[in-house]
Structure formats: structure tokens, C-alpha cells
Amino acid sequence: MKDKGMVYLVGAGPGDPGLITVKGLECIRTADTVVYDRLVSPQLLTMVSQGAELVYVGKSAHHHALPQEEINSLLVRKGLAGKRVARLKGGDPFLFGRGGEEAGALAEAGITFEIVPGVTSAIAAPAYAGIPVTHRGYTSTFAVITGHEDPTKEDSSIDWAKIATGVGTLVFLMGVGNLPLITDELLKHGRAPDTPVALIRWGTEAKQQTVTGSLRNIVDRAKEAGIRPPVVTVVGEVVNLRESLRWFDTKPLFGKRVLVTRSREQASALSARLRALGAEPVEYPTIKIVPPENLEPLDRAIRSLPSYDWVIFTSVNGVDSFIGRLLAMGLDVRAMAGVKLGAIGPATASELQRRCLRVDYVPQTYVAEAIVEGMDGVAGARMLLPRAELARPALAQGLEARGAVVDEVTTYRTLPDQPSGKIKGILQGETLDIITFTSSSTVRNLVSAVEAEVGEGWRAALGKAVIACIGPITSETAQELGITVDVVADEHTIEGLVEAIVNFVEA
């Protein structure tokens, strides 16, 4: 009997990708096909397995990629074809998500399905605005109401007379277009004009915007603020708690859009740190890490490890590539027994320690010149430098000048990694507040991509944003290319870069 597949109706949460459930993330990672809505976080789509099919079926007020009936048919077809489908729906699939209709179509077709509940914006958006929907000192009841329905129609399913005064907190989803009608109905049916109201746009995301007022004036305030969908509207006394409980929009980098130019494999660490401080990271990897074209020199150096006094690593990539090749040759860290290890900074040292290798030397300043100045017993020592293909010569030259015998070996190469036609859209779309550079390669490759797409005006396109560099070498590269640098980290690490950005923004 042919397998009819499996369809998971997954609540993708309200916007913050960190609010996806553990089971929801598992469904995304193991799906053959991912069918997703407009408000699903793009970051969640990066979690899909290689080769998985992505199908967009998003809806907005005036445009539907697919009508609901066709979405139902699509899920049935994929299920009948034996696919494992993750149907990602913003918020929770059974709260105004039409998940019941999709589940019904699957049941009728005899296709196995599961419901994976999600965090709804009805609770999450107020929470991120500092508004609890219930509070013992204010109310023990709340209701979630669709904001799409016209309150004035004769066959309305909303009993305004009861909800206006019978429920403590009212949460309206997607109702900003009907806001004048909603406030009129609540006032007409007895809700006090001074009842607090909050409008939360893009709740749980770095671009979240919150406007507060009362039933009497919230329509005017919404117009003044230019509030547009998607919006969650909260009506009730609990809105007054926002002033003391707000926590998300007070973060130091809240609302800042930050371009992350690191490689795909390394971007997530910087993005996660920025997101934790309230920023919206925009990942545009400008480099990719690949092995050397000729592995023989690296293999020869690894086989000769016992002949070296020191191995000095100048990057996390160097550690990963070197140890990765060592393991591929059938060896392990025992091959480095008796060899002293140096690391250019704490991140590189941490990567060595993670692999159970003790680090003998880390300079106080994390640049090549500091390694040369701070090391003792250099004269006559044999040193191996596993490095990038185009690494600066300063370290090798400095050590040789002090009497060391230095062998440099290419451990990895950095090549441009530029998604065609994308950077122009990023620069010309929503405001980009900060651009981060973590190496000279990221600077050169971003400039090359922008120049190719924007043309002669590339400096002006980049000049609108704050430029933040991880250290002086990266900063020098940027300045040589005519870019004004605003931030240079004192500690040349990701943590140091983030701290420098925070200090600049708060200054």
C-alpha cells in the first residue's frame, strides 16, 4: 500500500524565531516540503533540510498567493504523494489560522496529520510590550476576537453587548483597519471611554511598535503614528502595566537593523547576540570557508607535528580547518602532544580548549604583532602557522626577525559568497542602521557586491549606516576603500564588537 505521507500543521509563533516550539522546529528540520505563510520568520526557513521544497502561500489584506481552497488541495496532494509536510502558520494554527479547515481537508482525504500548537500573538505581542493579558489585581478574564469582521454587519458572530463589559481584557487580532468601528461598538455597548488601549505592530520582532491611548483617542493616535497591519490590539486596564513592565523595547539595540557579513556557518553566533540585545540581524554572508586547492602541504605539516616547538593559530577557522584535516587523516589530538599552542585571542583559544587542547599563550592584544612582542624563547624555535591563504605576513616576518624558524601552511581559503541581486534590496529597503565587518575579506567582498549592483553610488549606499569593525586591521581595509569607520572594537572578538556597538549607540 502506498504511503500517504504525513502533514504537520505547525504553529510558527508570532514572529520572534526563538518562540518556535521544540516539536515545531523538529518538523521543519525533517520535512520534505515546507508550506509557509506571510508572517513566518525567514530565519525559520533557514532551518529546513537540504533539498526540501519551500512553497509560499502567504496572504495579505489585498493579495493571496493561493486561495484557501487551493492551499487545502496542495496539502492533500503532497500528502498523497507520500511527502512529509510541515505547514507553517503564523501564531497558532487553530487560532484564526484556518487550521481547522486544513485539518478537515486532510481528514477527508484520509491523510495522517498532527497539530503542533504554537505561541499565539494574542499573548506574545502584549507580553513583549510589557502587558500581561491577565493580572490578579486587574482582571481574571480575557477574550481573543477577530478584528477582520465588520462589527456593523447584521449577522455578526460577535456579541458586542456581552464582550464590551463582560470580559476584562479584549485582544483583537488583525483589526487595525476596523479600529474606528471596533472602538465605536465597545463605547456604544458600555465600555468606559477612558479604558486603556494598546496597538502593537510587528509584535515580538525588533521592529515592534507600540502605541497606547484610550478608547476615546486611540483612533487618532493610530493615524498620527501611521500604524498599519499587522497589529494586535489590547483593550483593558492591564495596558497601564506597560510603563512598569516593558522590557523588550528598552533593550540597548532595540529596533536596530544590523547587517551581518560573516560566513553562513559563523553568522548565527553574532546574529544571536545582536538579537538578544533587541536588534534585527540581517544576514548577508560575504565569505565562505573552503579547503586549500592543494592539501599536500597541509598534510605534510600535520605529519611533521612532532618536529615543531609551537603551533600558533590566528583564527577559529584555522583551528576548525586544521583539526578537521588532522581527523580526516586518521589522526587525533594526540598528534599534537609535546607541541606548545598559541592562540591570537580568546575565541581561538576557546575553540582549542573545546577540543581538549591546552593553550600555552594568548597575547593581551589580539593582533599578530602582539604575538611577536609577547612571546619568550622565540630564537631558534620551530613554529608552524596554519593560516588562511591570503593571511597578512606580519606574524611570520616578526617571528623570523626574532630568530624563529617559521613554516606557514594554507589551512583554508576564504572565497566570496554573494547571493546575486540581494544586497541592493537590503540597502534600498528598510533602513539599515549598522553594518558589521569581522575581517578584511568581509569588507572587500561586500564592497565588491555593492559596487556591482549599485554602481558608482556604492559609497553613499553604505554611508547611511554606522560601520563597525572587529579590529584595527579590518578598519584599515575599510578606510583604504574609502569607507568611514565609526566603531572599532577594543577587544577584537565578537563579544568585543557587540559591546563596542552598544557603547556607540548609548553614547
Q: Look at residue 26 and tell me whether its pLDDT is greater than 80.
A: yes
Question: Which tens digit of pLDDT belongs to each residue from 145-161?
Answer: 998 876 667 777 889 99
Catalytic residue among 4, 59, 251, 288: 59
Question: Which tens digit of pLDDT belongs to each residue from 95-138?
Answer: 998 999 999 999 999 999 999 999 999 999 999 999 999 999 99
Give residue 421's pLDDT band: very low, low, confident or very high (50, 70, 90).
Answer: low
Give residue 273's pLDDT band: very low, low, confident or very high (50, 70, 90).
Answer: very high
Average pLDDT for 1-5? 64
Q: In percent, how much of the chain has pLDDT > 70?
A: 95
Looking at every residue in the chain, the average pLDDT score rounds to 91
Q: What is the pLDDT of residue 10?
A: 98
Query: Which of helix, strand or coil describes residue 169?
Result: strand
Mean pLDDT lowest for which of 148-162, 307-321, 399-413? Answer: 148-162
Beta bridge partners of 113: 7
Catalytic residue among 78, 83, 89, 174: 174
Give the closest residue to 466 by CA, choosing from 447, 443, 484, 490: 484
Q: Look at residue 303 and tell me whether its pLDDT is greater than 80.
A: yes
Residue 2 annotated among the catalytic residues of the structure: no
Residue 422 annotated among the catalytic residues of the structure: no
Average pLDDT for 502-507? 95
What totals of helices (H) and strands (E) does the chain contain, helices first? 20, 22
Give residue 1's pLDDT band: very low, low, confident or very high (50, 70, 90).
Answer: very low
- DSSP for 310-374, please give it: EEEE-SHHHHHHHHHHHHHTT--GGGGTT-EEEESSHHHHHHHHHTT----B--SS-SHHHHHHH
Average pLDDT for 267-278? 91
Q: Look at residue 37 and tell me whether its pLDDT is greater than 60.
A: yes
Catalytic residue among 32, 37, 92, 433: 37
Q: Using alpha carbons, list the distances in angstroms from residue 121 to 173, 220, 289, 323.
A: 8, 24, 39, 45
Q: What is the pLDDT of residue 60?
A: 63
Question: Which tens digit of pLDDT belongs to each residue from 446-497?
Answer: 998 888 888 887 888 887 899 999 988 899 999 999 999 999 998 888 899 9
Question: Which tens digit of pLDDT belongs to each residue from 328-339?
Answer: 999 998 999 999
Mean pLDDT lowest for which of 218-227, 242-251, 485-494, 497-506? Answer: 485-494
Q: Look at residue 175 and tell me whether its pLDDT is greater than 90.
A: no
Q: What is the pLDDT of residue 198?
A: 98
Give residue 394's pLDDT band: very low, low, confident or very high (50, 70, 90).
Answer: confident
Q: What is the pLDDT of residue 147?
A: 86
Q: Look at residue 17 and tell me whether its pLDDT is greater than 60.
A: yes
**Most confident listed range (21-35, 313-327, 485-499):** 21-35
Residue 37 annotated among the catalytic residues of the structure: yes
- DSSP for 445-483, please give it: HHHHHHHHHHGGGHHHHHHTSEEEESSHHHHHHHHHTTP
Give residue 426's pLDDT band: very low, low, confident or very high (50, 70, 90).
Answer: confident
Q: Would you give the distance in Å from CA 170 to the centre of its chain?
A: 31
- Domains along the sequence of the chain with CATH: 6-119 (3.40.1010.10), 123-245 (3.30.950.10), 257-286+417-506 (3.40.50.10090), 291-416 (3.40.50.10090)
Average pLDDT for 493-507? 94
